Amino acid sequence: MTTPSLAPFIQKRPWLMNWMRPLSKWYFDNAGYRKLGLRADDLIPEESETVQLALKRLPPKEAYDRVFRMRRAFQCSLAHQLLPQAEWTKAEQDYQYLTPIIEEIEAEASEREDLESMIIKKKTAATRQSGDQIAGKH
């Protein structure tokens, strides 16, 4: 599930991005999940149809690694311990592996919604050309 975020706003402005980067690095290092060997996308709540479908679409290796990371983190949490520092998730390992799939599924759903609520305009002779006869609600 994607949540509202300031990130796109900041990413569009390079000066702001440079300014915020150390802050975000500090924040992510202190968020704690990396010390349990997790990635940010592991924290997305999976109790929704969208995310369930996205999980099904993960490549087999990614799905296996995800389960491994979760079991390891769960074990650490039970034992009230952190992983040894060598096994912490590094910043470059913490990439988005699930979000793109979720976004794709959401785009599919919203496209379906748009098409369902589409208003069809009758075509006139002048507008008849390939491709642009159908006015979607985009």
Which positions touch another protein (CB under 8 A)? Answer: 56-57, 59, 108, 111-112, 115, 118, 120, 128-131, 133-134
Please identify, using beta-carbon distances, which residue of 31 and 107 lies nearer to another protein. 107
* Minimum gap (Å) between residue 112 Cβ and another protein: 6
* Minimum gap (Å) between residue 90 Cβ and another protein: 28
Nearby residues of 41 by Cβ (< 8 Å), 6 or more positions away: 96, 97, 98, 99
* Minimum gap (Å) between residue 102 Cβ and another protein: 13
Instruction: Count CA within 13 A, CB hemisphere, residue 133.
Output: 9
- What whole-number distance in Å separates Cα of residue 135 and Cα of residue 45? 36
